[in-house]
Amino acid sequence: MAEEFVTLHHREHPEAGSADRRLAEVAAEISRTGTYTHTARELDFGAKVAWRNSVRCIGRLYWQSLIVRDRRKVDSADEIAQELVRHLRQATNGGRIRPCVTVFAPELPRQPAPRVWNDQVVRYAGYTRSDGSVLGDPVSVEITAAARNLGWPGGPGTPFDVLPLIVHGREDKPRWFELPDSAVLQVPIEHPEYGWFARLGARWYAVPVVSGMRLEIGGVRYPLAPFNGWYMGTEIGARNLADTDRYNLLPGIARRLGLDTSHDRSLWKDRALVELNIAVLHSFEKAGVTISDHHTESRHFLTHIAREERAGRGVGADWSWIVPPVSSAATPVFHRYYDTEQRYPAFVGQPKAPTDNACFSPHPAREDTTDGTGRTGGSGGSGGPDDALLDDTGNTHDG
């Protein structure tokens, strides 16, 4: 894989010099150490191509704009937490979201790499209650329990408490770190026509930084390489806030719209889903936060395919991820097949961190990830839902 990557890099960037000379250097280093070290230019190229090859991402048209933050020398929990806060600030950019990846230390022979247990840098907590219901995001139940086992006291107790980071440095035990409020931009969800929508108390964070995937470049594995683009509205409005095993807002929205929810033929779910997606797009636009709609992004993806084909490159895609979950047949990406081959470099799945084994002694104090701002934070938000329209399970009701 090293030979394939080096050859690819020099083919697309002949100004990098002799491929044969670099291949000889890599071969000698592997023979001596069991691995090799990417140059800064190789890391930058490899991370960008990994996004270009991401079969589940519809937003790859912008792959060359990715900001690559080389932090391979950072492997302690404290430094990693600080760098993740800096990543959030740089990517957020006051709402004008910038695609970023931060690459931490790679796996080495007989030496594991650092990890972050969170699958995204920002997630909302999911608290299991005594009756089995969940306050907050059900997808976060395991990581929330792990954070509590490590000593996190919990947030304010709203459906949208921002989780701490759980960082496992190369030489450390796992430790938790609060994210500063000032680093986590959140968008309250309201509707351009229905005033009651804001009283549902729903919100979502601005930047989706994926931290649970491994970056593989030329045979070198980087288990901690958090990356982000910006949201497509349906990710929030048709999945995170709508799925029955997530925040499940559709029944409450439908009732407040006066829809007949007694049977599916009324299409109440569809109508409520459209209004929720309108609310998400409207709210992000009003807040000045970058977001894309699924119709625009679908056209952009076909533009990406055309550009790549003109460059003589194939584009792999997973249909089930590329086709939007709303109005699928009304988008151009629906009406075609895709090559499913995963090309490399790539961001790939990896085993989840062992959150069910978080039996370490609680850390004696909160870790400060203020990044020099002097601020620490818990929920990252401004309080609980208005008028209790989100009940203790995180679901809506008529209040």
Q: What angle do CA 113, 118, 120 make, to 5 degrees?
A: 110
CA distance 99 to 67: 6
For 216, the 3-state DSSP assignment is strand
Nearest to 116, CA basis, from 172, 54, 43, 56 = 172
E strand map for 201-281: 203-205, 209-210, 214-217, 220-222, 227-228, 231-232
Active site residue 235: yes
Catalytic hit among 230, 256, 268, 297: 230
Q: How far is 314 from 291, CA to CA, in rounded Å?
A: 27
Strands (E), the chain: 67-70, 100-103, 115-116, 126-128, 134-136, 165-168, 175-177, 186-188, 203-205, 209-210, 214-217, 220-222, 227-228, 231-232, 291-292, 346-348
In the numeric block, which tokens belong to residue 265? 């033929």
Q: Which of 7, 356, 325 is nearest to 166 (CA)?
A: 356
How many residues are present in the chain? 399
235, 275, 297, 367: the active-site residue = 235
Rounded to whole angstroms, what are the CA distances from 396 to 124, 137, 253, 284?
Answer: 17, 13, 8, 21
The one catalytic residue in 42, 51, 52, 57 is 57
For CA atoms 22, 25, 31, 33, give the dihedral sign: negative
- Contact 180/370 with Cβ under 8 angstroms? yes
Of 22, 52, 60, 69, which one is the catalytic site residue? Answer: 60
> Catalytic amino acids?
57, 60, 230, 235
